[in-house]
Amino acid sequence: MDSVRVAVLQMVSGDSLDHNLAQAEALLRRAAAEGAELALLPEYFYLMPADERARVALAAPVSDHTLLAWAQKLARELGIWILAGTLPLESDEPGKMHNSSLLIDPQGQLASRYDKLHLFGFCTGQEQYDEAVTMSPGREVVSHPLPWGVLRFGICYDLRFPELFRLGPAPDFIALPAAFTHTTGLAHWELLLRARAVENLAFVLASAQGGEHPGGRRTFGHSMIIDPWGRVLAQVEEGQGLAIATLDLAAQRKVRSQLPALTHRKIAVGP
């Protein structure tokens, strides 16, 4: 295959689960209508409440999760791959959840699961976040073979840890659903996304939250699709919307042949 059409969806999720799901469904339907074969929802697409514990209350096992069933039904109906940004999955730690990316195939089957490895912590005096209070970290790096190449999972803060994306097999695509803060996003979001694309000669697919949420939180948005040369192919700056692009896989193979940096690595990255 020489190309694939991909959409990254941007939302401004609030504290109404039903409203958020309705908005997400509308974006997924729009993406499918515009020819997307793979669509990525952002982190926390289902809920961005003032109290983080409201998400923990929705945590459930992957075998019996109403939000996962919602996404599976849509994938099956639309006939596309869906990355359900993140969903809250049960944790062995009381009062906590796993913040997990779930990949669903066009038949509605769960294809892969990734639990966020790196938990965000940030404190300036005016802003403070500590995901470890309500989340348990994942334990594994996860890749999944798509019909068009290997997808490597990451979530939001994972973007700051390049070693996650350097482990073999070299990913052809990097998925990064996020709810980046406006403060850190303004400084580093595009810089880090483009760096991950260039150093891995991979397509980076970043679906984000982009606006004001309950509790005074503001996210940066700027969902984007980036090619292996670091060029931004499509972008949504702020607010709700989608960015869509046809990825040239033949061009990726060509640039990897012309600049075989992935085969020139001398330092092994440990687990």
Between the CA of residue 168 and those of 151, 163, 171, 217, what are the distances in Å?
11, 10, 8, 36
H or E segment to which residue 234 belongs:
strand 232-236
> How are the residues of the chain apportioned to helix, strand and coil, as percentages rounded to the nearest 5?
30, 30, 40
Report how far apart, in Å, the C-alpha atoms of 253 and of each of 27, 185, 199, 231, 242 are: 31, 31, 15, 16, 27
Reported as a pLDDT band with limits 50, 70 and 90, residue 122 is confident
| Rounded-to-integer distance, Cα 106 and Cα 77, Å | 8
Quickly name the fold that domain 3-261 has.
Nitrilase/N-carbamoyl-D-aminoacid amidohydrolase (3.60.110)
Q: Which two tokens stand for residue 240?
A: 């709700």
- Strands 3-10 and 38-40, how do they pair? parallel
pLDDT of 1 > 90? The answer is no
Output Rg (C-alpha) for the chain, integer angstroms: 17
SS3 214: helix
Percentage with pLDDT > 90 across the chain? 91
Of 14 and 130, more confident: 14
Gap between the Cα atoms of 259 and 256, Å rounded: 5
Tokens of 114: 């990734």
User: At what angle are helices 17-33 and 66-78 packed, to 10 degrees?
Assistant: 20
Separation of alpha carbons 200 and 162, rounded Å: 9
* CB atoms inside a 10 Å sphere around CB 106: 17
Q: What is the pLDDT of residue 233?
A: 98
pLDDT tops 60 at residue 170: yes
Q: Is the pLDDT of residue 9 over 70?
A: yes
Q: What pLDDT score does 270 carry?
A: 55
In 3D space, the residue among 271, 199, 265 whose CA is nearest the CA of residue 228 turns out to be 199
pLDDT in tens, 152-169: 999 999 999 999 999 888
Q: Which residue has the tokens 């941007």?
A: 10
Largest CA distance in the chain: 51
Catalytic residue ranges: 43, 116, 156
Which residue, among 190, 215, 13, 57, has the nearest Cα to 128 in the 3D structure? 215
The residue to which tokens 């996304």 are assigned: 193
Predicted pLDDT at 127: 67
pLDDT band at 38 (very low <50, low <70, confident <90, very high): very high
What pLDDT does 128 receive? 72
